[in-house]
Amino acid sequence: MWPVMPRLSVGTVQADAIFASELQRGDELSADQVRQAVAEAIHAFGCSGCAGRVAQEFGDHPETAVIRMRWARAVAREACADSAPEPGPRGDAGALPIVRLRLPGERTSGSREAMA
């Protein structure tokens, strides 16, 4: 059985990266500085590493972690909202996409093995 990996929203990943970054609540930050810090934190720790740092801080210092996460979410919402792609027009706006999971050994037309 495959482990279940929760799907995280872009906003959640950005907030975790801000939380894990060197940014501080007292800093006056531009949107570009925040986006740069998000990119650097994700590059340094990965998405799961940022989430791990959040979890560790909530375990070690829950009272201060709550305050920092509220700040990180607000900063992410403010600084990264204008960088999100605009949704395009869709004829089936209410429909959900259908996703078929591939097993590890399965080949697709775009895989390297299929192209060889």
Closest CA to 65 of 48, 52, 84: 52
Which tens digits make up the pLDDT trace of 11-41? 889 999 999 999 999 999 899 999 999 999 9
Condensed to tens digits (0 to 9), the pLDDT of residues 54-110 reads 999 999 999 999 999 999 999 999 887 655 444 444 444 444 444 444 445 545 555
Q: Report the distance separating Cα 6 and Cα 55, nearest Å.
A: 15
How many C-alpha atoms does 15 have within 13 Å on its Cβ side? Answer: 20
Q: Would you tell me how many other CB atoms lie within 10 Å of the CB of residue 11? A: 14
Query: Are 80 and 35 within 8 A, CB to CB?
Result: yes
Question: What one-character DSSP code corresponds to residue 81?
Answer: G
